[in-house]
Amino acid sequence: RVPFSFLQAIMRGEDISKPVLQVINTRAIATGNGPPRYRVLMSDGVNTLSSFMLATQLNSLVEEEHMSAQCICQVNRFIVNTLKDGRRVVILMDLDVLKTADKVGGNIGNPVPYNEGEWQQRPSAPAANPAPSKPQQQNSNLAVAGKSNPGQEFWFPFNSDVLHDFRWTICARVTQKGQIRTWSNSRGEGKLFSIELVDESGEIRATAFNDQADKFFPLIELNKVYYFTKGILKTANKQYTAVKNDYEMTFTNETSVVPCDDAQHLPSVQFEFVSISDLENTPKDSIVDVIGICKSYEDVTKITVKANNREVSKRNVHLMDTSGKLVTATLWGSEAEQFDGSRQPVIAIKGARVSDFGGRSLSVLSSSTVVINPDSPEAFKLRGWYEFDSEGQLLECTSISDVRGGPASGVNTNWKTLFEAKSENLGQGDKADYFSCVGTVIHLRKENCMYQACPSQDCNKKVIDQQNGLYRCEKCDREFPNFKYRMMLLVTIADCLEYQWVTCFQESAEFILGQNAAFLGELKEKNEQAFEEVFQNANFNTYEFRIRVKLETYNDESRIKATAMDVKPVNYREYSKRLIASIRRNAQLG
């Protein structure tokens, strides 16, 4: 009776479920800058075969010595690839070590080397059916692409060295899809778009140019799974991508993309999250993955890019994680316009760039992926911590994007009482300081709170009444038949311990008074009593203030000037959380 050989069955392409094999030896193969690859000599007690390659996600088994010579393994999933020269390689995608080497004590049986040559010399069977329209999965362990030309193609994992062979097919999920971008230089004009793909072995970036960009852009959808056949593999340019692969793909005229409906096993976006607190020590321009609760967000603003004079949308969102640190991340374009943070979603960002502008902040790039409320353990844990854990509910976060003079004026962090702000000497340094507080308006100085300003869009200088129906702006060196009202309102605010004079400019002043400057100017000229009532009604209202403090010198006298950068209604839920957390801290100190 001829003994059964798992290895022979595997190499014949038979459907083998979870074979148990013995490791005879492992050998590291150099791969340049990428992670090492391990070649494995395995035995089934009858034959030995050295054509096994370990998927890189299993490298730790070898490196931590769980998988060593003479151990017994159960192979849960594998892929058989055929190289250009006909040799077959078995990629081990998932396995369990059933017995470590010290419990086995030696090689099992008297295995002899499997003769690959016999297999290679067998004529391949002619195709019984015409080529299928899409690749067909043969069994749970072996995935072979259908024949679209006389040379057979095989489904390879991304980390397989055989991708350098042009005849391949991969099955992958699209986790990021960029917009079509154009370029123009001395060599001509063109267009491109890029996608990021994920399978069980890793991730890779692919780019389509010109005709291929027009062809594939409307076909490829985000988060869908496709078979990608043929393309050119080249060394990745790390300047333009954060994908963790030494190579990237370029589509060609022969590339085909076919939807795959049965690929629920493929992962979605792969993240390697960094704690927000760790960003403080992360070098500038590093590319990182972060996840956080959207603690607050700002309105969309428009800025003009100097390079091409193009207007783009921008929005800052403020993310907090369990470290208690908060970071500002900037969204751009359609992502900024469509973002809704009203329900405080969990946001995961893959490939954000670290900036040192105002402490540490993040910028979302065109190659970044932003996922709202991702279906992942990290997101569930963060949401549970924030909504149901007392620590998350009461934690007072500290911003790393607003460190002594940072620009993130829209984020309500660095909470202080007015007494704390004064006792800590905020504003006494070389740079301005920013803090947030809850204060009640107790006095408004209506004298000189408004002035007639230049009507030009980008000029707010005070104009001179020429007494002839014209108003002159010295800055613009022009005379105008009209003007606009601008506000500079001096307000006294107070909390339970202290008070502070604060200067409120246009938007802040209009918010506190509940009227716009144009209406107030007209009211002042036509109905002085109604004008007075507006100021009386504005007293004794409580708001959240974002305040900038800076030591200024005027007429040889130095004093702290406080300016309201933002004024908004009190979020009493968050305010109550901070008060409870403060009470608990003080109780512990007592």
Predicted local distance difference test score (pLDDT) of residue 34:
58
Split at pLDDT 50, 70, 90, the class of 131 is: very low
Close Cβ partners of 202 (under 8 Å, ≥ 6 residues apart): 56, 57, 157, 158, 159, 244, 245, 270
Predicted local distance difference test score (pLDDT) of residue 391:
65
Please list the residues that pair with 247 across neighbouring strands: 235
More confident residue, 518 or 457: 518
CA dihedral 263, 269, 272, 274 (to 10 degrees): -150
Residue written as token pair 């005070």: 462
* 3-class DSSP assignment, residue 158: coil
Q: What is the mean pLDDT of residues 251-261?
A: 87
Question: Of 19-28, 90-99, 112-121, 311-320, which range is least confident?
Answer: 112-121
pLDDT tops 50 at residue 535: yes
Instruction: Give me 503's structure tokens.
Output: 């200067």
pLDDT tops 60 at residue 123: no
pLDDT tops 60 at residue 143: no
pLDDT tops 90 at residue 104: no
Helix axes 517-526, 506-513, angle to 10 degrees: 60
More confident residue, 58 or 157: 58
From the list 533, 372, 577, 329, the residue with the least C-alpha distance to 444 is: 533
- Check: CB of residue 537 under 8 Å from CB of residue 547: no
* 3-class DSSP assignment, residue 120: helix
Task: Classify burial at 325, counting beta carbons within 10 Å of its beta carbon; exposed 0-12, middle 13-18, buried 19 or more.
Answer: buried
Split at pLDDT 50, 70, 90, the class of 275 is: very high
State how beta strands 471-473 and 398-399 pair.
unpaired
Split at pLDDT 50, 70, 90, the class of 139 is: very low
Predicted local distance difference test score (pLDDT) of residue 307:
65
Question: Of 99-113, 308-322, 341-355, 571-585, which range is least confident?
Answer: 571-585
Question: Of 79-88, 131-140, 185-194, which range is least confident?
Answer: 131-140
For 362-391, the pLDDT digits (tens) are: 998 877 888 888 888 898 889 888 877 666
Split at pLDDT 50, 70, 90, the class of 240 is: low
Split at pLDDT 50, 70, 90, the class of 265 is: low
Predicted local distance difference test score (pLDDT) of residue 9:
85
Secondary structure of the chain: what % helix, strand, coil (to 5)? 20, 40, 40
Question: Of 102-106, 146-150, 427-431, 487-491, which range is least confident?
Answer: 146-150
Whole-structure pTM value? 0.49
CA 294, CA 180: separation in Å to the nearest integer? 29
* 3-class DSSP assignment, residue 75: strand
pLDDT tops 80 at residue 238: no
Give the amino acid at 355. Answer: S
From the list 259, 321, 235, 171, the residue with the least C-alpha distance to 34 is: 235
Predicted local distance difference test score (pLDDT) of residue 279:
92
Split at pLDDT 50, 70, 90, the class of 394 is: low
pLDDT tops 50 at residue 508: yes
Q: What is the mean pLDDT of residues 346-352?
A: 91
Helix axes 517-526, 528-538, angle to 10 degrees: 130
Split at pLDDT 50, 70, 90, the class of 402 is: low
In three-state form (DSSP H/G/I as H, E/B as E, the rest C), the secondary structure along 250-299 is ECCCCCEEEECCCCCCCCCCCCCECCHHHHHHCCCCCEEEEEEEEEEECC
CA 40, CA 58: separation in Å to the nearest integer? 12
Alpha-helix runs per DSSP H in 459-503: none
Q: What is the mean pLDDT of residues 119-133?
A: 38
**Percent of the chain predicted with pLDDT > 90:** 24
Q: What is the mean pLDDT of residues 453-475?
A: 88
Mean pLDDT across the chain: 81
Question: If you write DSSP's letter for every residue of 394-463 in order, what string do you get?
Answer: H---EESS-SSS-S-TTS--SB--HHHHHHTTTT-SSS-EEEEEEEEEEEEE-TT-EEEE--STT--PBP
For 192-216, the pLDDT digits (tens) are: 999 988 887 778 889 999 999 999 9
Question: If you write DSSP's letter for every residue of 343-389 in order, what string do you get?
Answer: T--EEEEEEEEEE-TTSSEEEEEEEEEEEES-SSHHHHHHHHHHHH-
Give the amino acid at 488. Answer: M
pLDDT tops 70 at residue 559: yes
Phi-psi region of 184 (alpha: psi -120 to 50; beta: other; left: phi over 0): beta
Question: Of 165-169, 224-228, 260-264, 434-438, which range is least confident?
Answer: 165-169
- Check: CB of residue 439 under 8 Å from CB of residue 545: yes
CA 442, CA 447: separation in Å to the nearest integer? 16
Predicted local distance difference test score (pLDDT) of residue 234:
81
From the list 241, 244, 345, the residue with the least C-alpha distance to 291 is: 345
Helices then strands, counting H and E runs in the chain, come out as: 13, 31
